Chain A
């Protein structure tokens, strides 16, 4: 063009030649641009292919959402997990895919990302019909003007890690509990087990003195006390052993008729005629570990009988059904227990009356509590429905943790 501008044509031939030259230059220039555009297009396409390969290659759920949270892009990993086809999912609002409930939980995070913030959090998410645990990350994508033109969303399945974390937490809690148990055991062993031993030592001393002629009258009485203390010590040791086994040796898991189980317990306890023990309604039949369940009932019912001030007593067993557990209840019309002892009664070797008044190891409710906790239930007491007396209630899971664990193992093996 410079040439044309500088050199004014003087003849028609010159002018025509200049025009031809200009056209040729223009053509070559256009040709050059076409190659440029083609190259540019190819490069964009290559980039996109690379992006797609990357997006489909990673084991994460990737999404690109527009500012109104419609799906612009979703990788196959996401679509497979969500159970959608690409042509159906693109253009849908994200809430239509994850459901309104999940969307409500995540909405605040989307809003933060739309405001320009990179957001990460961990939460449950769905993989088909199953729930997993994910780490979510929303990264805003900005245009040249710095405006958010969409969100790049990435979800990483961390279910396995989460499972290990939860397992570890559970094990730590179990360890802490077992350490506390051990500490408590060391403490009570030094008092509660030693107390009868010391008494025996004393009684022997008194009996010896009596036989030596100092106080002959008391020999008979002291011998009686000696026998009683020996029995007490024996009982403490037995119950301590029962406690240490509670929740560890659980026996068979099988179809159990809890109604018949309670009737058997009552028959074995053989309550005095002045005490009636009855079942209100029908107790359920379900698959469980009958041995620990029986131990719990035996302790609660025998407590109700033993601590009843008499002369006439009425003990009633009943149940309430909940979605994943039963609540069994043993109700008496005895003295009642002040609410301030709500925790103490379940501790090892704790009694509300001196052992000389009511013979007992103080281990019964500790054993109950340990068994109920083993299957992740709760035990507590309330005032009885009639106002007089106490009702002890405990949760018993319909599915036992041990059985659940076994199922998981089988499932993993099958996988």
Chain B
């Protein structure tokens, strides 16, 4: 098994119902990883310094103050967080958003379209991801 330490899920999401939905998907898939939530890019950026490693970021795009793409750019430009693994989980089906996200080395761009199945599928993909993939800075 790749992860010896438990991976913290850092969710950056301004909509409380989407946060609930994610928790609901976690319950359904019986995922017990610690979950930390920030309400927009600005708050997420401030919380990053106290976030226990290893972590995995799931970010929405449309958010107040600093959106997901802006946050991702800030992360990639920084010395200490540039190696972060970031997934986009968003309603934006905009081609430009996808191009921007992948140019900023996003691990995956996922659409929250119909919540029933696609959301659970996305979470189970992320769940498998951290179980299989090696994270940087792990012994």
Binding site for B on A (CB under 8 A): 187-188, 190-192, 194-195, 198-199, 201-203, 205-206, 225, 229, 341, 344, 349-357
Contacts and interface: CB of A to CB of B under 8 A. Distances in A.
A354 B14 contact: yes
A248 to B, nearest CB: 27
Contacts of A192: 62
Interface of B: 14-18, 20-21, 24, 39-40, 61-65, 90-94, 112-116
Contacts, number: 59
Contacts of B112: 198
B14 A199 contact: no
Contacts of B40: 354
A206 B25 CA distance: 12
A195 B21 contact: no
A353 B64 contact: yes
Contact of A350 (B16, B21, B64): B64
A219 to B, nearest CB: 14
A229 B61 CA distance: 20
21 contacts: A187-B94, A190-B92, A190-B93, A191-B62, A191-B90, A192-B62, A198-B91, A198-B115, A199-B15, A201-B115, A202-B17, A202-B21, A202-B115, A229-B17, A350-B64, A352-B64, A352-B65, A353-B64, A354-B63, A356-B16, A357-B39
Given A201-B116, A341-B65, A356-B14, 4 more contacts: A195-B91, A199-B18, A354-B40, A356-B15
Given A352-B64, A354-B39, A356-B16, A191 B92 contact: yes
DSSP majority for the B interface? loop
Contacts of B15: 195, 199, 354-356
Contact of A199 (B17, B90, B114): B17
A42 B77 CA distance: 87
A190 B113 CA distance: 10
**Which residue among A188, A201, A350, A354 has the maximum number of chain B CB atoms within 10 Å of its CB?**
A354
A203 B15 CA distance: 13
Contacts of A202: 17, 20-21, 115
A354 B64 contact: yes
A349 B91 CA distance: 15
Contacts of A206: 24
Given A187-B94, A190-B91, A201-B114, A351 B64 contact: yes
A199 B24 CA distance: 13
Contacts of B17: 199, 202-203, 225, 229
Nearest to A228: B17
A202 B93 CA distance: 19
Contacts of A357: 39
Nearest to B91: A191
Nearest to B94: A187
A192 B91 CA distance: 9
A344 B61 CA distance: 15
